[in-house]
Structure 1
């Protein structure tokens, strides 16, 4: 009777000696190669070399060693077809019943800061994926393992029944094809970027499961959180949770929005977000001052919000936040006093994020639609106030210009139609997501209340007519920033002149749907 055989060749050697010993204890012969063979023999596990099976030497710096009919015939041959069995007997091919393979560390290689293209290419595994795919295709007869976490399952079933179940082999085969697809996606992405291909004819993306969520936007919707296979440091996916209950689907979306907004500011800044829109943004000389401005911007809506601070949370700021019900606080760090105080709230999520990496977070945005995917570059255009055009008789004062710049940085993160009323250090009113622009203007101005005199207004897109400017002028707005570009721009300019408003055109639109 022919002994069963297992082929083991792994880059990640976690647990492999125990796995191989378990197979050997079941009377299974081990075929191995290279570093894996050396590790198994050092552990006292007898192995057969690939060369002994193929009667052919390893060559080309290891590029060619397992690509041979005696390997792939042993993996692909169907034991239930006489023609396959006869071919194996004729050509001296012995069946291989178990395959344990994981691949060259391509992902780990390209994540290195100083990696060269030659180094990346040498870490593209060819033989490994080929063996995995052959074994997975023939999973009716072959057990294939790509993940060390599955070693115990295989050994347990062998110990209990002398073989693995078809159900397990099917699940392991499916995992193999997911694994090789993800591996190939990383390679395709790397090489596509290397030749600066902008819109390739096909797009394969890969993500790793980070967290199974309790539910989605609503309790009846299933949801999960996946992280980019090449992690982005400045992202909610890479934030480290220090305290509190696990994040929800809506928490993650809101936190992502708040993190994106915080990237706009270099000075101490605090961003409060509710339902994907900022409800208060403040900047100041200290993070405590910035928080006070953000809170005062909308002390009602901040309740239950997500807060991002771009400086360490100190004790003084923590005391103020402790007075509120908040969902999440994200910052570069927390002082000991701040953490002890805030962590006394059992469910409050406290998270840290590496703000030094904010300029590297430039991956494309991906949005699913029914039957497809939309992809665009992030709205990261660099703008300078000296490029703005003053189109009215009155020029903005230096104080108004600072407020306009602050409002313009903010309005790009508000859902369109978007209007922001602000001064130089805080938002005062935000009108978001209305079907007409004047409606957003009215909401923002109403929210700002009685503090309008001398404040400014930003609009993410042009005014289609003069009514929005007229409403702003009647309520004390003294400066407006907008892209311009309407066929009725002159109507808005004339209305601004009528109310003594300074208005500037940026010539750049910031829709956010």
Structure 2
């Protein structure tokens, strides 16, 4: 029956893996006189709850077979779903074969993603969780959305029942179209997850065979992200923007905003830079970020101490900054943060008193972020016509990887300061220079076309004494001028990758100034 785009639901087929809210949904459907058809475990669950259910096998005339692999793959099912109600020849064919139409398909799929997320899942077990009949029914119903409603998640049950109640057992055209969109999103995500998993199995197989050319990245990159919100605008007011997130929990995209104004595009970019930097440290740490670069980073015995030491680096640039912590925030740290204007504060959690302090600043955005623990996390950068893909820069240095190249070796205190500076430098835009002392940045030179200019700018921006500090460079010094300039400001030690054709000249300059210099053999460009 069709009235202003409405379709009344007469028969519904239910076949679900996730049975949450199933019985309540089925009972609600029966209140509208809707006949229920079902399969296997779904049918058993409904019957045990007292629902009247027609088994699929009664319609097809064929029992489930092959351990349940074949249940609904039959013309009496797919014909009932796919027949167009506005086509006389389609309806005539149904009558000739004694097929009644199905007006709603309620299917959620075998839990493939959850299965393969479990460490050590055998390949055979994963394969058995690849649903065949479910996606086929979903696609059939979604293709014929003008006549058939398709419901792919328990999260949709409530709104479907609400509309059936408003419309006397019918669904609107707009709802059926939206449900179809959800359906194709689900099957696309499902297929992408299967393809990604099989790619990892292929890589593992290649590794077992000792193949030296096994690809790290799959030949087809299928990204599935869900829009979580529209943003007011992008980097500038004339640019439109939105936030999309992967389904996996954790990270800035899934942050819980506990207070404050709406997050902007630039807020998210800076917040991610701050969060990634501060989580490099096992000690209590704070990072203050402006335009993705660190204005100040420090370690402390408490979050408050870490914040105040980070603020000392550059209190002017910290105004309007993004502040991140890697520890639960307490009241003392919260009060310190609110002493100056701050755009966003980020932490893994907050105690009650801290949250009350932060919420008193109505415009301050407060984010609670769960960490992500991934063995191999990739990142993407758009270019015109495509994407660049790479693994994230997760490399942390240790003493065994370092090489002293000057006559003087760094002291234990200098070495600790050098490793701290090197970690901060990794999160600073190239060309990057970081002056630091024990657990505290002193000056930062970022994003310059010339490395010696970064040395000069880092020194010029220093509010703390440079004398006795150490210096980190994200890439090698191409000339000795950077060392000469840094030595003029009283530094005592340098950490850098090495690898320049003029390394000997640079080392000689360090020796002339009595500096200790460490080569890492690794660079940390950040573009």
Using the size of structure 2 for normalisation, the TM-score is 0.87
Q: Relative to structure 2, which stretch is displaced further, 142-151 or 202-211?
A: 142-151
- 1:502 Cα deviation after fit: 2.2
2:291 paired with 1:275: yes
Q: State the match for 2:130 in structure 1.
A: 124
2:454 paired with 1:440: yes
Distance 1:437 1:500 in 2: 21
2:179 paired with 1:172: yes
Deviations 1:369-391 (A, max 9, x none): 23212211111124223322222
Distance 1:415 1:77 in 2: 59
Q: State the match for 2:209 in structure 1.
A: none
**1:312-461 alignment to 2 at 5 Å?**
312-354=328-370, 360=374, 362-448=376-462, 451-461=465-475
2:217 paired with 1:199: yes
Q: State the match for 1:210 in structure 2.
A: 228
Distance 1:176 1:333 in 2: 36
Distance 2:246 2:422 in 1: 30
- The 3 A distance-change label for structure 1 pair 341 and 155 is closer
Q: State the match for 2:78 in structure 1.
A: 72
> Residue 129 of structure 1 aligns to a residue in which SS?
helix
> Residue 397 of structure 2 aligns to a residue in which SS?
coil
- The 3 A distance-change label for structure 1 pair 301 and 72 is same
Q: Relative to structure 2, which stretch is displaced further, 15-24 or 139-148?
A: 15-24
Q: Relative to structure 2, which stretch is displaced further, 130-139 or 10-19?
A: 10-19
- The 3 A distance-change label for structure 1 pair 127 and 358 is closer
- The 3 A distance-change label for structure 1 pair 149 and 405 is closer
Distance 2:94 2:278 in 1: 64
Q: State the match for 1:292 in structure 2.
A: 308
What do you get for the CA RMSD once the two structures are aligned? 2.9
> Residue 253 of structure 2 aligns to a residue in which SS?
coil
Q: Relative to structure 2, which stretch is displaced further, 140-149 or 363-372?
A: 140-149
Q: State the match for 2:325 in structure 1.
A: 309
Q: Relative to structure 2, which stretch is displaced further, 386-395 or 415-424?
A: 386-395
The count of residues paired between Structure 1 and Structure 2 equals 509
Q: Is the 8 A contact 1:157 1:165 kept in 2?
A: no
- 1:416 Cα deviation after fit: 0.9
Distance 2:464 2:84 in 1: 81
Q: Is the 8 A contact 2:324 2:345 kept in 1?
A: yes
Distance 2:423 2:54 in 1: 65
Deviations 1:102-127 (A, max 9, x none): 22233333444675544433332211
- 1:505 Cα deviation after fit: 1.5
Distance 2:303 2:272 in 1: 20
Gap regions ≥5 residues in structure 2: 2-8, 204-214
Q: Relative to structure 2, which stretch is displaced further, 240-249 or 412-421?
A: 240-249
> Residue 387 of structure 2 aligns to a residue in which SS?
strand
